[in-house]
Amino acid sequence: MLKSLGKDKPLIMKKIILASTSKYRKALFDQLGYPFECEDPQVDESPLKELALHPEELALKLSHLKARAVFARHLDALVIGSDQVCYLNNEVLSKPKNFEIAKAQLKKMSGKAHKLFTAVSICTPEKELSFTNTTTLHMRVLSDLEIEKYLNADEPYDCAGSYKLESLGIRLFSKIEMSDHTSIIGLPLIQLNNALIELGYHS
């Protein structure tokens, strides 16, 4: 659901900045055809992650934190912040960073369903918008050998949940329930494009 966080005023076209250094989000946003720049939000996420927040609320607050941080440096721009939280059995699964942690995460998820909460916040001088997208993924029962072969082939160590669904990771799943496949990669393009159109942007 799209919700307004500020005043409802007509928006003049402004420079678009994606508050992210993620190569995945950059490649996704490229698909919409808008000219844009990327900038590292340079925020400390740990205080929010230490709070006992629902994972969807955590993703939303983190996306807003990133957008506001970059917007504070570019008050005449439209800034997009995004974050994603992988959630399994009351546990948030972070980016694994290495083989051992990734293997442990995939073993936990094997044969189970987990959720990905992807949130986006947009900041402009006139208005702020935010929305979330939820995907439920059902992972097959995986053997240790399958997990190890997958990790060695795909190396998904910079991905929440330890898989790249846009690559070989698709083979790990029996079913995926989603409204927008791009949300899994980190940026729900359908909702984002609708939000930009609402703000007066047209590619």
What is the DSSP-derived secondary structure letter of residue 141?
A: P
| 24-80 pLDDT per residue, tens | 999 999 999 999 999 999 999 888 888 878 999 999 999 999 999 999 999 999 999
Residue among 76, 83, 154, 158 flagged as catalytic: 83
Domain 3-198 in CATH 3.40.50.720: no
Q: How is the chain split into domains, by residue range?
A: 3-198
Report the mean per-residue pLDDT for the chain. 91
pTM over 0.85: yes
83 is catalytic: yes
Integer CA distances (angstroms), 118 to 26, 55, 62, 137, 201, in order: 15, 10, 10, 13, 22
Rounded-to-10 torsion of CA 135, 5, 37, 134: 0
Locate the DSSP E strands across the chain.
3-4, 16-18, 37-38, 78-88, 91-93, 113-123, 128-139, 173-177
